[in-house]
Amino acid sequence: MNFISLTYTDLAIASLLVIANALLSMALGLKLEKRFLIAATRTVVQLTLMGLVLKTLFELTSLWLTALAALVMILFAGYEASARQKQRFSGFWTYGLGTSSMMAAGLIVTTFALTTQLRPDPWFDPRYAIPLLGMILGNCMTGISLGLNSLIGNAVRERVAIEARLTLGQDIHQALGGVVRDAVRTGLIPIINSMSAAGIVSLPGMMTGQILGGVPPVEAVKYQILIMFLIAGGTAIGLICAVYSAAWRLSDTRHRLRLDRLSPIQEP
């Protein structure tokens, strides 16, 4: 592969742009200069660490270490997804719901891609497994947090209508059906949009990266299509798991709407 290797001087020159941003912020009184510098420093530190972790993982090619890295990624994704929710379940459910759904989606889809399409040797080769999982988790996380926000928000807002259906003898599946469908639909919109816009409006990041890395465009495109499909599948699996288990948690065997299982809204 032929690609232009970057030197640290190159990065230092690029960092001038961030410093310019900070100066601009000071000149305009935006008070963002500090956050700019902290965010830029985090980028450097976090990515450097990730680079080192990946380097070690790639050298060792151990199933257990790869699995551990995957687990850590899933736990962070679960935390992010629950942190993005406006109103949450109380107790363990806040965190458990998103995390377990993402674990199911990430593992199923990544394993599917590794064992049937990419087939690296060994099958869990971290050079393929970790980036794949990362991309699937990132998108799945967005879908799940949108879906759960929609489900819980609508169940609270539509409480009177949902309970009116229950009082008339409809079961909880009928009463919550519209709210559940809306939640799944909301969570699936981003992947539909990015599939529709791919190549026309945006060159997806992974494809751009591969092209910069010297991969022929046609090959990079094939990878990007594969990833898009994997993301679509992963988002759907994770979203369905999360929305249906949340709907189950919002109801009980006596077909009641259990909003009491949500924790009070936190002030931002």
Nearer to other proteins (CB atom), residue 38 or residue 164 = 164
State yes or no: residue 29 binds other proteins (CB under 8 A).
no
- How far apart (Å, rounded) are the C-alpha atoms in residues 128 and 223? 12
The strand pairing partners of 47, in sequence order, are: none
DSSP 8-state class, residue 122: S
Q: By CB under 8 A, is residue 239 in contact with other proteins? A: no
Scanning 157-165, 181-189, 210-218, 242-250 for contacts with other proteins by CB under 8 A, the matching segment is: 157-165
The reply on whether position 264 binds other proteins by CB under 8 A is: no
Smallest gap from Cβ 250 to other proteins, in A, equals: 14
Interaction of residue 151 with other proteins, rule CB under 8 A:
no
- Contact between 156 and other proteins by CB under 8 A: the answer reads no
| Nearest CB to other proteins, comparing residues 166 and 191 | 166
Number of residues that bind other proteins (CB under 8 A): 21
Residue 169 or 264 with smaller CB distance to other proteins: 169
Amino acid type, 60: L
Site membership for other proteins, residue 249 (CB under 8 A): no
Backbone angles phi, psi at 107, to 5 degrees: -70, -45
Written as six digits, the tokens of 155 are: 């169940």
Tell me the three state secondary structure of residue 144: helix
Q: Is 171 in the site for other proteins (CB under 8 A)?
A: yes
Helix axis angle, 126-157 to 217-249, nearest 10° = 40
CA distances from 18 to 44, 49, 181, 254 (A): 12, 21, 43, 58
Closest CB to other proteins among 88 and 165? 165
Q: Between the CA of residue 223 and those of 63, 70, 110, 132, what are the distances in Å?
A: 24, 21, 14, 11
CB of 92 to other proteins, least distance (A): 20
165 near other proteins, judged by CB under 8 A: yes
Rounded Cα gap, residues 182 and 156, in angstroms? 14
Q: How far is the CB of 165 from other proteins (least distance, A)?
A: 6
Does 2 sit near other proteins (CB under 8 A)?
no
Would you give the end-to-end CA distance of the chain in angstroms?
Answer: 49
Q: Which is nearer to other proteins, 170 or 245 (CB)?
A: 170
Residues making contact with other proteins (CB under 8 A): 158, 160-171, 178, 252-257, 260
